[in-house]
């Protein structure tokens, strides 16, 4: 048995949860936590502003795909951190913000730096709590950590009054829970996997929109395997950027709006249908396009538009299982052919050109978006910046781009 103060309990709980660093700006309401961090071997990273501390905790969470922790003092310390927390909320980043608070016995009397902090943070967090007893510190913190890391990641806030941080308690009276649930992958049901495979089998112009959920689910390899098996172009946003290397023949960065408007099937992976995607509605999306979504958060499914299919599951597991059904639906793996073509509308078609050039692999005509009519004018996605509408050898130094042919050949 040993007597510990509340600050030491905070540090010990964080240490047991695997936290090795905290980002902070020193303040009187949180001083006991620093003593505990020194004892437990948790590194204290001193910042120069609470907003920077929150942003640093957010960045740490994104880079590690684990919990980031920022600790700030009461009142202006917490309010200064609000911008960083709001940013983490939008980015689905598991940030734990711990804020000091006025002593319990002085609540409502106008204590130093007293602010209604929990109500302030609730709208931009997955949960916000205040601790009412020193022995509850481990329980409340582990609940917050589990909430931040389970399902769709996101920030959480825990307020701890300064008198509780200084109060001594026997460690046996404040046990640290060990049952964590850290983003257990949820597999899709077989019927949904088959329906997704059927959608791709029926589509002529499918595309994939890969967002931050691909990163948080660590599903980049599964996305690559799926895209290559299906021969489907991939656009990326948010933390999903980089899921496919920029030089991968199926990774496209420009003309996303044009592709969304012409595709007949869009698979949205781990990104909301928000302003970046025109809320999933025309004119950003075609009027008759089918949209399928895979996201760990069921709240995002069907938000802003009806879906053909919505899966609240792990993105990597979903893509992996769908890829395994490849013989029934894919257009074939990439090969040494030089062009991919597909029809966009009764009077318009375009070609996806990928000529061999160094390390840039070519794509198979078997992975086409439908069949191109040679009598119709075409659009090309090329790696060069020339004005010709014909497919030319790609340049390794430039990005994929959409380019229309001359006006005289356009319908």
CA pair distance 188, 191, nearest whole angstrom: 8
CB crowding 260-288: b at 16 or more within 10 Å, else e = bbbbbbbbbbbbbbeeebbebeeebbbee
Structure tokens at 143: 């609940």
Q: Is 65 exposed, middle or buried (0-12, 13-18, 19+ CB in 10 A)?
A: middle
Kindly list the structural domains of the chain, giving each domain's residue range(s) and its CATH number in brackets, ordered by start: 3-173 (3.40.50.970), 185-331 (3.40.50.1220), 334-411 (no CATH)
Looking at residue 243, what is its pLDDT? 92
Looking at residue 256, what is its pLDDT? 87
- Distances in Å between the Cα of 301 and the Cα atoms of 129, 160, 231, 274, 312 are 28, 36, 25, 12, 8
DSSP state of 348: E
Q: Which of 284, 342, 280, 338 is nearest to 305 (CA)?
A: 280
CB crowding 349-377: b at 16 or more within 10 Å, else e = bbbbbbbeeeebbbbbbebbbbebeeebb
Looking at residue 376, what is its pLDDT? 31
DSSP state of 396: T
Is the distance from CB of 94 to CB of 154 less than 8 angstroms? yes
CA pair distance 252, 356, nearest whole angstrom: 17
Q: Which of 3, 399, 341 is nearest to 174 (CA)?
A: 3
Is the distance from CB of 65 to CB of 218 less than 8 angstroms? yes
Residue 24 φ/ψ, nearest 5 degrees: -155, 165
Structure tokens at 314: 């792990």
DSSP state of 10: H
Looking up tokens 């709208």, which residue turns up?
123
Q: How many CB atoms lie within 10 A of CB 192?
A: 19
Is the distance from CB of 208 to CB of 234 less than 8 angstroms? yes
In the chain (411 residues long), the average pLDDT of successive 10-residue segments reads 87 92 93 93 95 97 94 94 95 94 78 83 96 92 92 93 91 76 76 90 91 92 92 91 90 86 92 89 88 89 89 92 71 38 31 34 35 33 35 32 32 31
Give, for 317, the enclosing helix (H) or strand (E).
helix 315-323
Looking at residue 344, what is its pLDDT? 32
Residue 300 φ/ψ, nearest 5 degrees: -80, -20
CA pair distance 344, 263, nearest whole angstrom: 8
CA pair distance 122, 139, nearest whole angstrom: 19
Is the distance from CB of 57 to CB of 49 less than 8 angstroms? no
Give ∠ CA 97-140-215 in degrees, rounded to 5: 50
Bridge pairing between strands 290-294 and 265-269: parallel
CA pair distance 145, 364, nearest whole angstrom: 47
Enter the pTM of the model.
Answer: 0.74
């Amino acid at each position: 048995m040993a007597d510990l103060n509340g600050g030491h309990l905070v540090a010990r709980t964080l240490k047991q949860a695997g936290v090795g660093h905290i980002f902070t700006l020193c303040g009187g309401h949180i001083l006991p936590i620093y003593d505990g961090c020194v004892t437990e071997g948790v590194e204290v990273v001193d910042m120069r502003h609470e907003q920077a501390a929150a942003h640093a905790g957010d960045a740490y969470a994104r880079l590690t795909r684990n919990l980031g922790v920022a600790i700030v003092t009461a009142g202006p310390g917490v309010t200064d951190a609000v911008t960083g927390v709001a940013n983490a909320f939008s980015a689905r980043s598991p940030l734990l913000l711990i804020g000091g608070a006025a002593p319990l016995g002085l609540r409502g009397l106008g204590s130093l730096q007293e602010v209604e902090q929990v109500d302030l943070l609730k709208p931009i967090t997955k949960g916000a709590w205040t601790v009412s007893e020193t022995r509850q510190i481990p329980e409340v913190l582990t609940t917050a950590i589990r909430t931040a890391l389970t399902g769709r990641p996101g920030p959480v806030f825990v307020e701890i009054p300064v008198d509780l941080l200084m109060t001594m308690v026997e460690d046996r009276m404040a046990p640290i829970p060990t049952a964590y649930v850290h983003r257990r992958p949820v597999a899709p049901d077989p019927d949904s996997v088959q329906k997704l495979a059927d959608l791709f089998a029926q589509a002529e112009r499918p595309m994939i929109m890969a967002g931050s959920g691909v990163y948080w689910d660590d599903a980049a390899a599964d996305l690559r395997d799926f895209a290559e098996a299906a021969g489907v172009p991939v656009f990326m946003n948010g933390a999903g950027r980089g899921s496919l290397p920029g030089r991968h023949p199926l990774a496209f960065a420009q003309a996303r709006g044009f592709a969304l408007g012409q595709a007949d099937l869009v698979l949205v992976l781990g990104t909301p249908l928000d302003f970046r995607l025109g809320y999933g509605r025309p004119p950003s999306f075609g009027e008759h396009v089918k949209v399928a979504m895979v996201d760990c958060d069921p709240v995002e499914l069907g938000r802003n538009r009806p879906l053909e299919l919505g899966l609240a599951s792990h993105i990597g597991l979903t893509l992996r299982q769908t890829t395994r059904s490849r013989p029934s639906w894919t257009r074939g793996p990439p090969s040494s052919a030089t062009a991919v073509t597909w029809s966009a509308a009764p009077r318009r078609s375009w070609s996806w050109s990928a000529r061999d050039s160094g390390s840039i692999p070519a794509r198979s005509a078997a992975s086409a978006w439908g069949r191109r009519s040679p009598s119709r004018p075409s659009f090309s996605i090329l790696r060069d910046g020339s004005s010709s509408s014909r497919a030319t050898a790609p340049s390794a130094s430039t990005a994929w781009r959409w380019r229309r042919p001359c006006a005289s050949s356009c319908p």
